[in-house]
Structure 1
Amino acid sequence: MDEISSRAKKTIDNNHAGVLIRKAVKTYGSGKNSCTVLQGLDMSVKRGTIYGLLGASGCGKTTLLSCLVGRRALNSGEILVLGHEPGSANSGVPGPKVGYMPQELALFGNFTIKETLFFFGGIYRLKATFINSQCEFLSKLLDLPPCDRYVKTLSGGQQRRVSFAVALFHEPELLILDEPTVGVDPVLRYSIWNHLIQQSAQHGKTVIVTTHYIEEARHAHTIGMMRTGRLLVEDSPDNLLRKFQLSSLEDVFVQFCLKDDGRRSIEQLSITESNAATCEPTDVFPPGTPSRERDVNVAPDNPSCHSEMASSRQSNDVKDDNVNFKVKKHQSFSLKSILPCPHRLAVLIRKNYLMSFRNIGLFLVTFLMPIFQSAVANITLGNEPTGLRMAIVNDEVDLGVGRVCTNATDCEYSMLSCRYLRYISDNIIQVPYENVFDAVEAGKRGHVWGVIHFGRNFTEEFEMREWAVELDNIIGRRINVQMDSSNQQIAIFIQKWLVEAFSDFSKDFMKVCGHNPGAGDMPLTFVDPVYGRKDTPFTEFMAPGLMISIVYSAALLLTAATLVTEKEQGLLDRSLVAGVQMNEILIGNLTSQVSSMFGQTALIVLGMLWIFNVPCNGNLALAVSITLVQGLVGMCFGLLIAAVCDNLNGVVFLTAANYLPVFIMGGVLWPTEGLHYYLRSAVYFLPSTSAIEALRSIMTRGWGLEKAAVYGGFLVSFAWICGLLILCLIVMRFYKNSS
């Protein structure tokens, strides 16, 4: 009976504790690179009290607080917050029972103060009348600027006060404040502590505060001094000062640090027990404060203060069953717990839209950059090169004997080399040279792209073509072309134009001589093509890949950058501590980004089809659909990158690293048939290769979903969407457990 009674008493004590931590261990990294931040830490915070957590930077204070609010998980040990394990069902932590002020500002710069409070009020499902009243009250308490001021226009101190107001305004049971008074003037610091003490004494709020101003921790009921992940002591300020007979808490902290040689256990540093049952904070009001305000906080000094807290750390004989944790570590699966809350989702979507429209630069980049990229691509890619200089060495021309070029158009076998040169495309600039040597030297110096050489008897030998069976005659009527083939595309264009020029020259000459114009043609005729045109421009091949690549990369970069920016600024953590689910954040971002993607796709399609005259021979709705689906693939890839990266540099690096292999190998600028045989099949499993082929088939061939090339693009895209979302959730869970 005594044992049962003892356990029952401990359970009751735990339920009345604000925070209980036992043997907490938190390690970052693994193996040789592991770093233990919390080393078997024990901590007790009584409900309705203020707990000051002191320690140097890097001692583990912020990590401990993030574990309390459920943002990080311990490697081992136990935590109870308000009688529940953080993150367990009905714990309210993360959620409305906790008010969290991180070290970062964690505020939306493009929101006004009022909009900031209404955003978090929407997350907590508070009524507008309550939010308005709290906004007015906190404005007076914290001396906030007018509520219609944008956060980004405030000074650093004003922004911290707004951040403090966000933690206070929904009146949580537990306040966790990480350096709340940094950058705050002494008068306002006094006001803040005054309010915290009133909340603790009058409303039973539990407050945990970390601070660099060690002396202001005298206002707390209990002080915990941390060093290298361990709690050196946990007691009231008066007892600590009395114990060491010092006048400064900073001197007390130095004494404990000197005693701590890194080998002693926390229990060996515990101080003499004292009774904390009736302990109250010391008088923090300056002289002249009215007695009705002082009565709230003043209590007689009790020499036995905080024995309950000290006794939990008295000796090495403390057993694991001294704390009776009733919450199960593994909660049963609940479908309701993973479904997004429509109300919070609506608040997040509204926030995303406001942030997009308020950020003018981002708004313009989102909608103007895609059309600008497509315009630049159409203007610069696929057009025929012009102004190509070619050296012409025509040995038929000899001014000394009167052999000059004529403009003859009849059937006259005279100076046919000059007649041929008139048919060469105007894109080639003909530069005459007297001899082949000089022309070749000009090519070596990069002055011309090649040399066209006509023999002295070119016309006579061309006339003898019908009976020219001797090799000398055949060689004599050749046009020798020596090219600079360092640029393959230019070389191909020049060869094409020279062949076309000879065909036109031959047909015209045969016609005026009364022969069949096709007599000189090769026995190879290209009739009307099955799809496309005889001279399909390169832009038509490039357009489908360009459309998908722009929408895909814009969605990827915008999604990843938005989430990582919120992560860097602490906004993501603050929203999660407020009770927002990660799936709600993902869905909210996807929803707002989809509307942007619709606008981008519409602008790109309009530009391609109506401005640059790229034809779409198939179903336009089907073409738009595959483009939008690829945008979703990019967004999901952006979510995965955001889950992995902690800063924008990582986002830019991974986005660039993803772009080249996905699109260069995906058939945007070069057909996949040009790849190595074994690589050719593998590239169709990349995110966009099949989709680009599907869109190209829709636009140029007019195919529909009945063709494998089209529905295959959709199937591969949907498979990537599902796979990326699953991988994203796995990565986020892994990072939460290992962070």
Structure 2
Amino acid sequence: MKIGVENSDVFVTSHRVSETNNNATASAVHGVIVRNAIKTYGVGSNRYPVLNELNMMVKKGTIYGLLGASGCGKTTLLSCLVGRRSLNSGELLVLGHEPGSANSGVPGPKVGYMPQELALYGNFTIKETLFFFGGIYNLKATFINSQCEFLSKLLDLPPCDRYVKTLSGGQQRRVSFAVALFHEPELLILDEPTVGVDPLLSHSIWNHLVRQSVDHGRTVIVTTHYIEEARQAHTIGLMRSGRLLVQDSPENLLNNFRAPSLEDVFLKLCIKDDAKNPFDSEHRLSSKNPGYKIPRLSVHRIGALIRKNYVLSFRNIGIFLFTYFLPALQASLFNVTLGHEPTGLRMAIVNDELDISQGRVCNYTTDCEYSMLSCRYLRYIKDNIIQVTGRKGQVWGVVHFGWNFSKEFEMRESDGDAAELANIIGSQIGINMDSSNQQIGVFIEKWLLEAFGDFVRDFRGACGNVPEAGLLPVTVAGVFITERKQGLLDRCMVAGVKMPEILLSYLINQFTVMVGQTALVYVSMLLVFNIPCQGNLAVAILITLLQGLVGISFGKLNLKYLKIIIGNYIFYIILGLLISTGCDNEMGALSLSQASFLPLLVISGICWPIEGMPLYLRKIAYIMPLTYAIESVRCIFSRGWGIEQSSVYAGVLVSFAWIFVFLALCLIVARVRKFAS
């Protein structure tokens, strides 16, 4: 390479491979080749370049120090090298292959990556951390143990049984560095590895990197803010505004620029770099549009992810137990709070038949006697209603008897259809309701009608008449009263983990927990609360496992029909994965989750029958994930229907359909965000 300074302009003649040269020949010499790399963020007029026609060559078996100010594009370039982002245009070869291509090993075991973020699980010990990534790389336990011992000495790590969250910032950075080193990759990419590390340990780290490159032929790319420490690198590349200003050995840079330090070299380059390169590369941006390829799933990577999920779950035993027993707790809470008849409802009784001065007082005879029938009727009202004399106090309504109620009732019984209007009015029981709470109003009305039916049947039986022939002279009037940030995902995916493997591991973990939750809920429902199941219980459990179980509420309504309400657990697991995939922070994911839960719950017919909704809303309700599953389990429990009925098997088919839809959306969103970032 030659570096010249002419007419106050800086130019670089780099180790570019001739267009006519074979890529295989170049790859045999270079570990990394970047040609005319363009990477932009944003769309339309808001688009700006992060990498601007960048060219870079990194020889195999060397250390390459990538230097530059924050925001110059170093981290974006490294993300492209490890396959986490894609270029808009340009060529990129790592270890002879395009990142992400078949047999490239990048992302995968051929690259060791240390991001700027800590990217470690705080609830893991140091040893568990290495074993987790060792499981992803399919390494043997003996090798992991030996590497743990070696790296502990090299990096002065605390005991391997220490939890990561209990370590200091510098110790955590060293553990992160050990994760990048321990599987002995061909390419090491280290983003600020010595931040927060004391000078003596930093010197030891650089010496180890030199040995790795010289003795083992490994390629190392290091970014650092400490420019002077990069003197130990074989080649230094100085970046500014998405371009590589120069790349050469530290000695050549110091000699050619006649500078005492690399910082002075960088300063001179920045002063002389006054060229403006307008970014107008519309014709290039469409050249990189990779098609979607179905990734190969790895059993050992999925196994490592599943073990990781279980360890993290059991580390916080309080949260785990709360999550595990929450459905059973919800089901029990629903049983003791929802679906039961209300009690302690106060009703005012205004009985004009009573007149102590005239000797008209309540009697409790059971004979056929037309006397004080108002008192006789009140005895049949359920104990759920508290009868209060007079109109004072807070009450849910008023029951009124006329002064001659018993006499008018007798006359109406004898006259039948020939009864006069005045007689009909006098024999009625006036009920004036507070209808501010419609459900309570419905219950009180039902109880008063049932009480009158019981009263008539008993009285007519005592008089030797047909009990069911009684009339119902009761009128009711209504009075209306006015709920990726630490870099862990990137690190796992650079290690070769695929998004489908992550989704599958979470689903397996959550499904095993859900099986236990479902068992607890059904035990409490069937054995503790004695909820009868008229149909095939196995089918109901199958639908419950598909939909998942957040809560079941059972109760008796007007005619004592059983009502079952099922929440959607698997659906919300997958919806949670979809939301997590599409959000950048916890607050956004939490807000979307809360915003989606209540509308889906209400519109699925759980809180109110779908038949009570407007016609246009009913069509939407029937395509919701919960609707058919709720109806299926309701038909099994209350009607005794089997899987052969369309209302039952529809719940199974719809549940499967929504699971596949949301899993597909997870993968699509993850891929779109990858190429848009």
Which bracket does the TM-score occupy, shorter chain normalised? 0.7 to 0.9
The answer to which of 119-128 and 621-630 deviates more is: 119-128
Name the SS for the 1:589 alignment partner: helix
Name the SS for the 1:338 alignment partner: coil
2:526 paired residue among 603, 609, 623: 609
1:136 paired residue among 149, 153, 161: 149
What is the Cα deviation at residue 64 of structure 1?
A: 0.9
The answer to which of 236-245 and 138-147 deviates more is: 236-245
Q: Distance in 2 between the 1:80 and 1:61 partners?
A: 17
Q: Distance in 2 between the 1:6 and 1:230 partners?
A: 21
* 1:418/1:369 CA distance change after superposition, 3 Å: same
The answer to which of 187-196 and 514-523 deviates more is: 514-523
What is the Cα deviation at residue 722 of structure 1?
A: 2.3
* 1:683/1:262 CA distance change after superposition, 3 Å: farther
User: Is 1:464–2:381 an aligned residue pair?
Assistant: no
Name the SS for the 2:346 alignment partner: strand
What is the Cα deviation at residue 596 of structure 1?
A: 1.2
2:244 paired residue among 223, 227, 231: 231
On the 8 A contact 1:15/1:83 being kept in 2, the answer is yes
* 1:364/1:33 CA distance change after superposition, 3 Å: farther
Q: Distance in 2 between the 1:624 and 1:677 partners?
A: 32
Please tell me the residue identity of whatever aligns with 2:441. Answer: A
Please tell me the residue identity of whatever aligns with 1:692. Answer: I
On the 8 A contact 2:452/2:472 being kept in 1, the answer is no
Q: Distance in 2 between the 1:389 and 1:431 partners?
A: 7
* 1:401/1:728 CA distance change after superposition, 3 Å: same
What is the Cα deviation at residue 244 of structure 1?
A: 4.2
What is the Cα deviation at residue 10 of structure 1?
A: 7.4
Q: Distance in 2 between the 1:333 and 1:455 partners?
A: 82
* 1:501/1:70 CA distance change after superposition, 3 Å: same
Please tell me the residue identity of whatever aligns with 2:325. Answer: L
Please tell me the residue identity of whatever aligns with 2:397. Answer: G
Aligned twin of 2:445: 495
TM alignment of 1:412-491, pairs within 5 A: 412-433=369-390, 447-465=394-412, 466-467=414-415, 469-491=419-441
What is the Cα deviation at residue 264 of structure 1?
A: 5.2
Aligned twin of 2:536: 619
1:661 paired residue among 577, 595, 599: 599
Deviations 1:518-577 (A, max 9, x none): 231569xxxxxxxxxxxxxxxxxxxxxxxxxxxxx9xxxxxxxxxxxxx33322211111
User: Is 1:201–2:214 an aligned residue pair?
Assistant: yes
Q: Distance in 2 between the 1:673 and 1:330 partners?
A: 48
Q: Distance in 2 between the 1:669 and 1:188 partners?
A: 63
Name the SS for the 2:387 alignment partner: strand
Q: Cα RMSD (Å) of the superposition?
A: 2.6
Deviations 1:408-460 (A, max 9, x none): 33333222222222221211122222xxxx55xx5xxxx11111111111122
User: Is 1:124–2:107 an aligned residue pair?
Assistant: no
Please tell me the residue identity of whatever aligns with 2:405. Answer: F
Q: Distance in 2 between the 1:422 and 1:6 partners?
A: 103
Q: Distance in 1 between the 2:53 and 2:318 partners?
A: 49
* 1:718/1:398 CA distance change after superposition, 3 Å: same
TM alignment of 1:164-243, pairs within 5 A: 164-243=177-256
TM alignment of 1:131-530, pairs within 5 A: 131-261=144-274, 263=276, 338-433=295-390, 447-465=394-412, 466-467=414-415, 469-520=419-470
Please tell me the residue identity of whatever aligns with 1:489. Answer: Q
Q: Distance in 1 between the 2:443 and 2:532 partners?
A: 24
Please tell me the residue identity of whatever aligns with 2:360. Answer: R
Please tell me the residue identity of whatever aligns with 1:345. Answer: I
User: Is 1:26–2:27 an aligned residue pair?
Assistant: no
Aligned twin of 2:558: none
Aligned twin of 1:713: 651
User: Is 1:53–2:66 an aligned residue pair?
Assistant: yes
* 1:144/1:99 CA distance change after superposition, 3 Å: same
On the 8 A contact 2:37/2:53 being kept in 1, the answer is yes
Unaligned runs of 5+ in 2: 1-16, 474-482, 549-569
What is the Cα deviation at residue 693 of structure 1?
A: 0.8
User: Is 1:582–2:499 an aligned residue pair?
Assistant: yes
Count residues with an aligned counterpart: 622
User: Is 1:671–2:615 an aligned residue pair?
Assistant: no
What is the Cα deviation at residue 8 of structure 1?
A: 4.1
What is the Cα deviation at residue 683 of structure 1?
A: 2.0
Q: Distance in 1 between the 2:444 and 2:33 partners?
A: 81
What is the Cα deviation at residue 658 of structure 1?
A: 2.5
Please tell me the residue identity of whatever aligns with 1:484. Answer: D
Q: Distance in 1 between the 2:19 and 2:354 partners?
A: 119
What is the Cα deviation at residue 490 of structure 1?
A: 0.5
Name the SS for the 1:390 alignment partner: strand
Aligned twin of 1:295: none
On the 8 A contact 2:41/2:48 being kept in 1, the answer is yes
Q: Percent same amino acid among aligned pairs?
A: 65
TM-score (norm 2): 0.86
Q: Distance in 1 between the 2:88 and 2:290 partners?
A: 18
Name the SS for the 1:356 alignment partner: helix
TM alignment of 1:559-574, pairs within 5 A: 567-574=484-491
Q: Distance in 2 between the 1:100 and 1:343 partners?
A: 20
The answer to which of 346-355 and 362-371 deviates more is: 346-355
What is the Cα deviation at residue 175 of structure 1?
A: 0.7
Q: Distance in 2 between the 1:182 and 1:221 partners?
A: 21
Unaligned runs of 5+ in 1: 267-319, 321-327, 524-552, 554-566
What is the Cα deviation at residue 654 of structure 1?
A: 2.4
Q: Distance in 2 between the 1:627 and 1:502 partners?
A: 42
Please tell me the residue identity of whatever aligns with 1:150. Answer: Y
* 1:417/1:10 CA distance change after superposition, 3 Å: closer
* 1:515/1:8 CA distance change after superposition, 3 Å: closer
User: Is 1:83–2:96 an aligned residue pair?
Assistant: yes
Q: Distance in 2 between the 1:407 and 1:431 partners?
A: 19
Aligned twin of 1:526: none
Please tell me the residue identity of whatever aligns with 1:587. Answer: L
On the 8 A contact 2:89/2:288 being kept in 1, the answer is no
On the 8 A contact 1:16/1:82 being kept in 2, the answer is no
On the 8 A contact 1:18/1:45 being kept in 2, the answer is yes
Q: Which has the higher strand share?
A: 2
Aligned twin of 1:597: 514
* 1:110/1:5 CA distance change after superposition, 3 Å: closer
Q: Distance in 2 between the 1:258 and 1:364 partners?
A: 62
Q: Distance in 1 between the 2:666 and 2:179 partners?
A: 30
Name the SS for the 2:634 alignment partner: helix
Please tell me the residue identity of whatever aligns with 1:230. Answer: R
Deviations 1:72-120 (A, max 9, x none): 1011111111222111222211111110001121112222211211221
Name the SS for the 2:350 alignment partner: strand
Q: Which has the higher helix share?
A: 1
Name the SS for the 2:532 alignment partner: coil
Name the SS for the 2:622 alignment partner: helix
TM-score (norm 1): 0.80
Q: Distance in 2 between the 1:195 and 1:102 partners?
A: 19
On the 8 A contact 1:21/1:43 being kept in 2, the answer is yes
Name the SS for the 1:391 alignment partner: strand
Q: Distance in 2 between the 1:212 and 1:513 partners?
A: 104
Q: Distance in 2 between the 1:116 and 1:581 partners?
A: 19
* 1:329/1:682 CA distance change after superposition, 3 Å: closer
User: Is 1:701–2:658 an aligned residue pair?
Assistant: no
On the 8 A contact 1:177/1:210 being kept in 2, the answer is yes
Please tell me the residue identity of whatever aligns with 1:476. Answer: G
What is the Cα deviation at residue 476 of structure 1?
A: 0.9
Please tell me the residue identity of whatever aligns with 1:388. Answer: L
What is the Cα deviation at residue 331 of structure 1?
A: 9.2
